Amino acid sequence: MLYTIPLEMTRGRLLIAADMVKQTTAVFAVLVSGSSSSDDGDLLPDLDQAAPGDPSGRTGGTFAKPRFFLGFASAAGNVGEGPLVILGNRRSQNEPRMRVVQRIHHANGGTSTEPIRPTLRYVRSAGHAHWHLLAFMRYELRRAGKLVRPDRKTGFCLGDRYRLTLTLERTPPTPGFPEECGRNGPQLMRVQEGISVGYGDDYDAHVEGQEFDVTSLPPGRYVLVHRVNGGRLLRESDYGNNAASMAFDLSWPRGRKVSPRLDVVARCPQTATCP
């Protein structure tokens, strides 16, 4: 079940609203300052990582030995001049993964494809099952600059889940990728996924690895870092906006048998090193 975040979280939620305004302003500045197409006429995507949001708690384990999990939402939008399009295929249903190419759009109206290292894997989880692009977004929980928790994310099903607040020149009027990544189709031989210009993809807290076990963590300041395309395995016009973070204070005012207190200090949509 979900455990209740104490009222002290109000301060964090106010900061979240303020930082959303800052993030929108920063993205607008990038778009005005220059084109996101490459010199050879490629219309490339530009993935903009949003700061972690919607922190919430979940209790697991047993009454005698409870476990506490910090959940968080993640999102990334495409603010480039071209869509992010990936095409997966395999030769046989005996192959558990699909090889992937990225389709690149060009200013002259043509397209080309380039092989990329990430693969697609069919993932089953509570409520749904579909093909995930592995290593699309990664999460880290850090303290004093050191990694304390790596992620357990199973990958991303890419799609146009929401529309950005800014309308970009090449934003289609309707979502270009409304598909569910081959949902309930483990037998499929080909799958297309992507994120259109002006749209974004997101995941809710606690869904498919969107959480960290904080049961044994000592009190103190922590930083939750989200990185989209951190290995630069997908072609983009700009990799400088691929990381964002959230700083929070964790404490145990009622002891280790009761859910901890979480105070969000800041959300940092443009850096992995939130103060």
Q: How confident is the model at residue 198 (pLDDT cuts 50, 70, 90)?
A: very high
What is residue 44's predicted lDDT score, i.e. its pLDDT?
A: 98
For 56, 144, 158, 256, 273, the CA distances from 263, given in Å and listed in that order, are: 11, 17, 31, 17, 17
What is residue 260's predicted lDDT score, i.e. its pLDDT?
A: 95
3-class DSSP state of 18: helix
Above 50 in pLDDT, residue 13?
Answer: no
* pTM metric for this prediction: 0.83
Query: Tens digits of per-residue pLDDT, 59-109?
Result: 999 988 999 999 999 999 999 999 999 999 999 999 999 999 999 999 999
Give the phi and the psi of residue 31 in degrees, each rounded to 5: -70, -35
For 97, 106, 212, 226, 258, the CA distances from 217, given in Å and listed in that order, are: 36, 49, 10, 20, 14
Dist CA 5 CA 63 (whole Å)? 19
3-class DSSP state of 270: coil
Dist CA 10 CA 172 (whole Å)? 37
Above 70 in pLDDT, residue 35?
Answer: no
CB-based burial, 34-43: b 16+ in 10 Å, e otherwise: eebbbeeebb
77 CB-side CA count, 13 A: 19
Query: Tens digits of per-residue pLDDT, 120-161?
Result: 999 987 777 999 999 899 999 999 999 999 887 778 999 999
